[in-house]
Amino acid sequence: MITIVPISEFRKNIGIYIEKILYKKEAYLLTKGKRIVAKVVAFDAENKAREPSPLLKLAGIWRGENVEQFKRDLKQMDEASKKDLRSF
């Protein structure tokens, strides 16, 4: 499970968070204001960052190009629905 934590909170209690990351294999997203600025996860012996879940890629984190495509799709659906309503 990934927990979102303000970076100031993480900094104040870094020892506690590091223990949770190392021993409980927890992961954290650090925020500054409303933005996510870092992800903190355990590092394994093969120098690969551990992913807490393979489903993380499907978690709904959008990149800029996804947002722009979604806006275009919404606009097309809105225009299509207005067009369909005019035919009644």
- Dist CA 50 CA 67 (whole Å): 27
At residue 1, does pLDDT exceed 60?
A: yes
- 27-77 pLDDT, tens digit each: 999 999 989 999 998 887 555 555 555 555 555 666 667 777 878 888 888
Rounded to two decimals, what is the model's pTM? Answer: 0.50
- Dist CA 31 CA 47 (whole Å): 25
Task: Report DSSP letters for the chain, one per residue.
Answer: -EEEEEHHHHHHTHHHHHHHHHHS--EEEEEETTEEEEEE--B-TTS-BPPS-GGGGGS-PPPHHHHHHHHHHHHHHHHHHHHHHHT-
Q: In this structure, which amino acid lies at residue 59?
A: A
- 4-16 pLDDT, tens digit each: 999 999 999 999 9
> What's the pLDDT at 49?
55
Residue 88's pLDDT band (boundaries 50, 70, 90)?
Answer: very low
> Exposed, middle or buried: residue 57 (CB in 10 Å: 0-12, 13-18, 19+)?
exposed
